[in-house]
Amino acid sequence: MPHCTFCNVERDENDFYMHSSHKVNGREQKGYTCKSCSDLHYGDTWYPIEGYNEKCDISKRGTVRELRNGRYYNITYVQNAGKQYVYLSKGDKDMRKNVGSLMKKYIYKNQI
Ligand SMILES: [Zn+2]
């Protein structure tokens, strides 16, 4: 049974709040986070990222989630140096976006 990445609670796959899916050596590796751990580690306030093909939100913690098939997926990648980035697309162009600049653009503009 799937369990939360942070607190280890076991739940049905559909009862988790945040999902993740990464390809590791060609195999899909899934991750799950319950609602309270997601609020604690990823943030509980989300701001919409506009202008991309994906339907995404960003939190003040610098986590980006994508709404896909009615589920939230954490699509944030963390680099060795702790820098975070996401892959987004616009039209038929794929882009790698720095989470710091997305935060500036989509969070702080909402607070002025
Ligand atoms: Zn948890």
**Ligand 1 centroid, distance to 27 Cα (angstroms):** 24
* Residue (of 106, 5, 93, 99) closest to 49 by Cα position: 106
**Ligand 1 centroid, distance to 19 Cα (angstroms):** 12
Compute the mean pLDDT over every residue in the chain, rounded to the nearest whole number.
94
Q: What are phi and psi of 35, to 5 degrees?
A: -60, -45
0.85 exceeded by the pTM? yes
Distance CA 108, CA 66 (A): 20
Task: Return the CATH number of the domain spanning residue range 13-111.
Answer: 3.90.75
Q: What are phi and psi of 14, to 5 degrees?
A: -75, -15
Q: What is the pLDDT of residue 65?
A: 98
**Ligand 1 centroid, distance to 9 Cα (angstroms):** 6
Non-local (6+) Cβ contacts of 15 within 8 A are 34
pLDDT digits (tens, 9 = 90+) for 92-106: 999 999 999 999 999
Provide the residue ranges of all domains of the chain, joining segments of one domain with +: 13-111
Q: Beta strand pairing status for 56-59 and 93-98?
A: unpaired
